[in-house]
Chain A
Amino acid sequence: MKNDYKILGFKAGLEIHQQLDTHKLFCECPSVLRTDKPFNTIKRKIHVVAGESGEIDEAVKFQGKGNKDYFYQTYDTTCLVELDEEPPHKINKEALKIATEIALLLNCKIFPVTQIMRKTIVNGSNTSGFQRTVLIAYGGFIQTSEGKVGIDSIYLEEDSARPIEKTEDSTTYRLDRLGIPLVEISTKPDLKSASQVKETALKIGEILRSSKVRRGLGTIRQDLNISIKGSNRVEIKGFQDSKIMEKCIDLEVERQKMFLDKNQKNPSEVRNCLPDGTTEFLRPIPGSARMYPETDLELLHIKKEFIDEIKRNLPKLKNEIEEELRKQGLSEEMIKLIFKGDKLDEYKELYEVNGNPKLISKMLLLLPKEIAKKENKSLEEIEELLNKDVMIFILNAVYNEKIHEKDVKHVLEKICSGVLFKEAIKLGKKDFDEVEEKILKIINEKPNLSPNAYMGLVMKELKGSITGQEAMEIISKLMK
C-alpha cells in the first residue's frame, strides 16, 4: 500500500555534491583520476582530537575508533598539499567563479565575507584529518511542478580521497580525487513527495550541467535527509541513480514508520543506500562541533565586481538553449538527441566551423549510429574514430566544397574502415566523379528522354550507392 506522504508529514531535503571542471581547490594539481599503478604509497595515522568547543563530535568519535593504518597512493599528479605536507595554496579562483555562477543560477544570495572552515573527518579520507569547506551563498530557490523548493545554502569544498581497499585494520586511499573542487547544494526541507525529490534532483542536475562541471560516473553525488512527523532525521547517501531514489524513499518512510508504530524513535544517523533501495547504518549524524576555521588562509571576500562580472556572463539554461536550437532549424527530435547524447558542447563548436545545423546534427547523432550498425562495431568505438578533429576537418571540406554534403556519410565510413581522413576526402570526390560519369553515359546512350525517365534508369543502374535526390541533382546538371 502506498503511503500518503502528506498525512505522514514527510519532509525531505536534498544535498547535491558536484565536482567542478578545474584543477584542485587548494593546489595547482590537475583533477585527473588515475587508473595506472601508483608511484608511491605513504602511511599515516589519524587521531581524534577535541573540536574548538573542547568536545569531540559524535560522528568524529565514531569514525576515529581504533588504531587504524591509512595508506595513500600518490602519483606525479599529487603534490605536498594533498600529502598534508604543505599549507593550502590560495583558493582556486576559477572554482570560486563556477560555484558563484551556480549559486546565482539557483537564485541565491552571495555572502560578501566568509571563512574557509575545517570540517573534522577522521575516517582517513582526508590526509589532513579535515575537509576544507566554505559557505558561499544562501536563500535561493527553484521551481518544480509541485511547487517552489528553497535552496538553503551553497558550499565550495574539497572532495575526499578515493577508497581503494579496506581491511579490518587499514584503509587504502588514492589521492587523485582529494582536493577536486566540489560544489554542495542543500535544499530546504521543502520536498513533499518522492516524485518531487526526483524532479528537484534532475532540475538541479540540469542547472549544474550548464556550468563548467565534471561529467560522468561519480562526478555528482546526491544525499537525502528524510523525516516524517515525530521521527528523527536520517541522512541517506550513496544513490547510484535517481531511479533507485524513489524506491529508497518509500522504504525509508516505511522504516521510520515502524519505529513510530512501536512508540519508538529511529536514531538520527547517516545511512547508505544499497542497490536494492534498502539502507544500512553508516555513522551518526555529525554536529557543528566538528567545524573550526582554516587558519592557514585569509578570510574569503567575494567582491561585488566579481559577482557582477559573473552575472553578466551567466550561461544559458536548457530551455533557453532549446529555443536557440529551434531557431537554428533543428527538429524537436534532434534537440532531444543532442541533450540525451550530451553533445551540446560539440555541436556548438562544430556550428562555429560550418553553420549547417542539419548536417552537423546528422554527423553527430545519426551517422555514427548507422555506421556502427553497418560495421558491427560499438558506438563508442565509432565515436572515437570520428572524433571532433575529424568532424571539423570534414565540415571544413564541405564548406570549401572539396566534398559534397551527400558524400559525408561515405567519407565517414571510409575513415571508420581505416582510411586516413585526408585520403578519405579524395575517395569521396573520386567515387562521386565515377557516379557522374556513369550517369553521363546513361544519358548519352539514350538521349532526349525526360529527367524522370533518366531517373528511373539511373536508380536501376546505381541502386543503393546514391539517393534519388542526389541522382536528380546530377541529372539536371548534366542535362543543362
Chain B
Amino acid sequence: MEIDQNFGNLVQLERGKEIYEGILLPSPENGIVLLKLENGYNIGFNKKEILKLKLLKKISEKEKDFNFEISKDKPNVAMVILGGTIAARLNPLKGGVDWLDTPESLFKFYPEIFEKVNVVKVEVPFMKASEDMDYKDWQKIARVVETLLNDSNVKGIIVTHGTDFLHYTSAALSFFLRNLNKPVVLTYSQRSIDRASSDANLNLQCSALVAISNLAEIVLVGHASTNDDFCNVMRGTKVRKLHASRRDAFKAVNDEPIARVYPERLEILNSYHPRNKDKPKLDLKFEEKVALVKVYPGQDPGILDYYLKNKYKGIILEMSGLGHAPTSRARLGWTKKLKEVQNKGLTICASAQTIFGCLNPMVYSNGREMLETGIIYLEDMLSETAFVKLGWVLGHKEWNFSRDKIKEKMLENFAGEFNKRLIE
C-alpha cells in the first residue's frame, strides 16, 4: 500500500468497517494523512489505521493560462522577490509552499498592481524567511538592486520580503547603496496572500505608486493603520517592526513618514532625496564580528569578555533610559569593564532600549560615568540600524584603524539614520 505515492490522487480508504473517498493529502503531523472529501473538508487518518488504499483516479495538476500583456502606456517596474508571507502560497496537494516568483503567478494573486505598472522584470536571488537572512543575503540583494537601478528600462524597484528582519535589510540597503537614483521600495505582508483579506494587496498597490514616484530613497511601504486605506512611506533606516501580527506592524521611529500613499495617489509629507541621473555606487563592505546586546538589571559585565575573547570588533549596547548601564555603585558595575574592553580594541556604541527618543548621557551623573568610558552615543538611531551600520563602518579598512575615525563615521548621517528634530 503506497500511501505517500498517492498524494493528490482520488483514492478510497478503508478504516475499520468504514470506507472513505477523497483526495489524499499529506498532513503537517507525522504519521497522519489527510483526505479531502467531496465537500472540500479535510479529515485525518492515522496511517496505521488504514487497512486498504485503492487508487480511483490519478489527478494531474493543471495550470491555467492567464491573459498577461505589457502595455506601453504604463511605467515599467522591476520586482525582487525574496520569500516571506508575501510570496508564499500553501499548496496542500504537495503539503508545502509554492512561491510566487514569476510575473504570471504574481498576476494571478495581485492583478491590481498590474493596472498601475508593468512588472517587466522579476528577480529571485533566493527565497528565504527573513529570520534566516544575514549580511551575505543583504549583499546579494544590494547587487541585484544595483543592476536594476542601472537598467534604464526600469523606473523603480519593488522588493518583497518577510517581515521579521525586514527593517535590518532596509537599513543595510540604505548603507550599501550610495548615490541612489530611483525609488527602492521594500514591502511585505502580515496576512497570507491566499486570503481575501491579505494586506499584501494594498501594500503592493501603494508600493507600485512609490516605485514610479520621484523619491530616490530606500523606503519601506506598508499599512499605516489597521484600515485598508493608505500606507506610510518610511525611511529604511528609521523603521522598525513594532507588532507581531498587525498589518501596521512597521512604524517610523523618531521620524515622520516621508509620504502617505493611497492606491490612487501619493501625498508627500516631508523632504526627500529626488530621482536623478547619478550612477549608484555599491559599498558592500561588512564586518561580521559585531553584536547587539541588551543591558538588563543585575547583568554580569563579564559577558563583554566573551565577545572580546571571540574576536568581536564592535557591540551595540542597548542601554536603559537616556543611556545607562549599572554604574560603579551597582553590585555588578559595568564602568570598569567597559573601559577595559574598549582599551583592548572593542568598539562600544550605545542605543536606546526605549526605542523612542534620543539618548543623552549628560543629564545624570550615571550617564556621564558611562560616557567617560569612551562609549559612542548614537543619539536617536534605532538599535537595529545601529547594528547594521556598525558592521558596515567597521568593514571599511579606511575607517576602522582608529577610534576617532570610527566615532566620526558612526555619527555621520549617511542615510537619514539620525534625526536632529524629534517632534513626537
How many residues in A have their beta carbons less than 8 Å from beta carbons of B?
50
A343 at the binding interface (Cβ < 8 Å): no
- Of B33-41, B232-240, B270-278, B354-362, the stretch lying at the interface with chain A is B33-41
B residues near A293, Cβ cutoff 8 Å: 34, 42, 90, 92
- By the criterion CB–CB under 8 Å, are B42 and A43 in contact? no
Interface centre among A122, A153, A288, A290 (most CB of B within 10 A): A288
Binds A, one of B193-201, B370-378, B381-389: B193-201
Q: In the bound complex, what is the Cα–Cα distance between A52 and B201 (angstroms)?
A: 18
Q: Which of B15-55 contact A (CB under 8 A)?
A: 27-29, 32, 34, 36-46
Distance, CA A42 to CA B191, complexed state (A): 17
A49-B194, A120-B196, A128-B195 are known contacts. Are A80 and B246 too (CB-CB below 8 A)? yes
Is residue B320 contacting chain A, with contact meaning CB distance below 8 A? no
Chain A residue at minimal CB-CB distance from B91 = A52
* Per-residue interface assignment for chain B, residues 172 to 203, with 1 indicating a CB less than 8 Å from any chain A CB and 0 otherwise: 00000000000000000001111111100110
B299 at the interface (CB under 8 A from A): no
Does B108 interact with chain A (Cβ within 8 Å)? yes
The prevalent SS among residues of B at the interface is loop
- Does chain A have a CB within 8 A of B247? yes
Q: How many residues of B contact A (CB 8 A)?
A: 43
| Contact A80 B245, CB 8 Å, known A43-B227, A49-B193, A135-B37 | yes
Task: Specify which chain A residues have a CB less than 8 angstroms from the CB of B91 in the assembled complex.
Answer: 52
Known: A83-B226, A299-B28. A289 touches B196 (CB 8 A): no
Is B63 close to A, CB under 8 A? yes
Asked if B194 contacts A122 (CB within 8 A), the reply is: no
B93 at the binding interface (Cβ < 8 Å): yes
| Residue of A54, A80, A118 touching B63 (CB-CB under 8 A) | A54
Query: Could you say which residues of chain B place their CB within 8 Å of the CB of A295?
Result: 28, 90, 192
CB distance from B39 to the nearest CB of A (A): 6
Chain A: which residue is nearest B191 at the CB level? A84
Bound: A87/B196 CA distance, A: 15
* Nearest CB in chain A to that of B45: its residue: A113
- B227 and A42 contacting across the interface, CB-CB below 8 Å: yes
Known A-B contacts A52-B93, A54-B63, A83-B226; the reply to A47 vs B41 at CB < 8 A is no
**Are A113 and B44 neighbours in the complex by a CB distance under 8 Å?**
yes
Q: How far is the CB of A19 from chain B (nearest CB, A)?
A: 21
A155 to B38 CA separation, bound complex (whole angstroms): 15
Say whether A288 contacts B192, CB under 8 Å.
Answer: no
Residue pair A299, B44 in contact (C-beta under 8 Å): yes
Q: Is the CB of A288 within 8 A of B38?
A: yes
Q: Is B229 engaged at the interface, CB distance under 8 Å to the other chain?
A: yes
- The 8 Å CB contact of B40, one of A45, A113, A288, A301, is A288
Does A13 reach chain B (CB closer than 8 Å)? Answer: no
> Which residues in window 102-145 of A have CB below 8 A to B?
111-115, 117-120, 122, 126-130, 133-135
On whether the beta carbons of B109 and A49 are closer than 8 Å, the reply is yes
Type the 1/0 row for B77-96, where 1 means its CB is closer than 8 Å to any CB of A.
00000000000001111000
Question: Which residues on the B side are within 8 Å of A291 (C-beta)?
Answer: 36, 39-42
Q: Does chain B have a CB within 8 A of A440?
A: no
Cβ of B194 and Cβ of A292 under 8 Å apart?
A: yes
Give bound CA distance, A161 to B112, whole Å.
Answer: 27
Q: Output the least CB separation between B109 and chain A (Å).
A: 6
Determine the distance from Cα of A407 to Cα of B62 in the docked complex, in whole angstroms: 81
Q: How far in angstroms is the closest Cβ of chain B from A111?
A: 5
Q: Is A85 touching B245 in the complex (CB atoms < 8 A)? A: yes
Q: Are A46 and B197 in contact (CB under 8 A)?
A: yes
- Of all chain A residues, the one with the shortest Cβ separation from B202 is A45
Contact B109 A50 (CB under 8 A): yes
A55 at the interface (CB under 8 A from B): yes
- A288–B22 Cα distance when bound, in Å, is 12
Question: Which residues of B from 239 to 255 have beta carbons under 8 Å from A?
Answer: 245-247
Complex: how many Å from CA A295 to CA B40? 15
Are the C-beta atoms of B42 and A84 separated by less than 8 Å? no
Q: CB distance B44 to A44 under 8 Å?
A: no
The CB with the most chain A CB atoms within 10 A, among B34, B43, B91, B198, is that of B43
Q: How far is the CB of B8 from chain A (nearest CB, A)?
A: 11
> Contacts A114-B43, A120-B196, A129-B197; is A52 near B245 (CB within 8 Å)?
no
CB < 8 Å: which of B195, B198, B246 contacts A85? B246
- In the complex, whether A277 has a CB less than 8 A from a CB of chain B is no
> Looking at A47, A80, A289, A301, which has the most chain B CB atoms within 10 Å of its CB?
A47
B16, closest chain A residue (CB):
A109
Interface of chain B residues 374 through 410 with chain A (CB within 8 A):
none
Q: How far is the CB of B163 from chain A (nearest CB, A)?
A: 13
Q: Using a CB-CB cutoff of 8 Å, which residues 264-321 of chain A contact chain B?
A: 287-293, 295, 298-299, 301
- Does B369 sit at the interface, judged by CB under 8 A? no
Q: Does B331 contact A (CB under 8 A)?
A: no
Q: A80-B246, A87-B245, A135-B41 are in contact. Are A113 and B46 (CB under 8 A)?
A: yes
Complex contacts, A134 vs chain B, CB 8 Å: 41
Residues of chain A contacted by B29 (CB below 8 angstroms): 298-299
Please tell me if B309 contacts chain A, counting CB pairs below 8 Å: no
B385 to chain A, nearest CB (A): 26
Chain B residues within an 8 Å CB radius of A84? 191, 197
Question: Do residues A52 and B92 form an inter-chain contact, with CB atoms below 8 A?
Answer: yes
Q: Taking CB as reference atom, which chain A residue is nearest B201?
A: A47
1/0 per residue, CB under 8 A from B, across A142-155: the answer is 00000000000101
| Cα A70 to Cα B69 with chains together (Å) | 31
Interface string of B105-122 (1 = CB under 8 A from A): 000110010000000000
In the assembled complex, which residues on chain B have CB atoms less than 8 Å from the CB atom of A44? 197, 227-228
Q: Which residues of A line the B interface, CB within 8 A?
A: 42-50, 52, 54-55, 64, 80, 83-87, 111-115, 117-120, 122, 126-130, 133-135, 153, 155, 287-293, 295, 298-299, 301
Contacts A120-B196, A128-B191, A292-B92 known; list 5 others, CB within 8 Å: A54-B108, A117-B42, A288-B39, A291-B40, A293-B90
List 24 A-B pairs, Cβ < 8 Å: A44-B197, A45-B202, A46-B196, A47-B198, A49-B193, A49-B194, A52-B92, A54-B63, A54-B108, A80-B245, A80-B246, A113-B43, A113-B44, A115-B34, A115-B43, A128-B191, A129-B197, A135-B41, A288-B39, A293-B34, A293-B92, A295-B90, A299-B27, A301-B44
